[in-house]
Amino acid sequence: MAASTIDTKEQIITVAERLFAERGFAGTTLRHVVSEAGVNLAAVNYHFGSKEELFRAVVVRFAHPVVKRELLLLAELKAGSELPSVETILTAILQPSLEILSQDSGTRLVRAKFMGRCRTEPEPIQSIVSNEFAAVTEAFLDVLQRVLPEQSRSQLSWKFDLVIAALIRVLTEAGQPHGLLKSNSAEDIQETTQQLVRFLSPGMRS
């Protein structure tokens, strides 16, 4: 694929991410995207074919590096000779998103808002997001089930959902005076992860 074609595709995804974050799926039209991206409708149709597929492309772009990192951390946990702690599991869930989404302060807020929007979209749009994270979500729930066998899968699922909700709230307020994550420095990311883990781990156990 030519560089100009790749650039056009990335430009469309970047504009779409911001518009979906601001207006939601229903409130964003392909004409909005075309106008703000400075491309024609044929380019959007060529690369994506539909608004649903464009939405999926936005999800995939932020989901893949997060999932890749989470699966790597999960593999390390499973390779240990002992069961991991709840704190270690929560760290593996939270830290990749904090690290990856904080790398670019220019897009962090848009991406965090987009993630928040994803959680409120109606079906079948919400399932597009769930499907991208489904494998890693189930893998985390499997590990949590081994560590907390007295809890049902449904209990762990809604607690996991609250963990993600807390993560999105922190990302949305990152860099703000009252925000938990002050900057994208390694030290602040580690400290924020630790504070979230300390807060969330008792709830996960209860």
| Ordered DSSP codes for 17-57 | HHHHHHHTTTT--HHHHHHHHT--HHHHHHHTSSHHHHHHH
**List of domains in the chain:** 60-205 (1.10.357.10)
> What percent of the residues of the chain are helix, what percent strand, and what percent coil, each to the nearest 5?
75, 0, 25
Helix axes 3-23, 105-118, angle to 10 degrees: 60
Q: What angle do CA 52, 12, 40 make, to 5 degrees?
A: 95
127-141: burial string, b at 16+ Cβ within 10 Å, e else:
ebbeebbeebbebbe
Amino acid type, 72: L
Q: What is the mean pLDDT of residues 167-190?
A: 79
Query: pLDDT digits over 45-100, tens only?
Result: 999 999 999 999 999 998 999 999 999 999 999 888 899 999 999 999 998 888 88
Query: pLDDT digits over 26-50, tens only?
Result: 999 999 999 999 999 999 999 999 9
Flag whether the pTM goes above 0.85: no
- The token duo for 75 is 């593999």
Q: What is the DSSP letter of 183?
A: -
Amino acid type, 10: E
Query: pLDDT digits over 12-27, tens only?
Result: 999 999 999 999 999 9
From CA 161, how far away is CA 184, in angstroms rounded?
24
Long-range contacts of 38-47 (CB under 8 A, 24+ apart): 38/11, 39/8, 39/11, 39/12, 43/8, 43/12, 44/12, 47/8, 47/9, 47/12
- Say if CB 53 and CB 119 are below 8 A apart: no
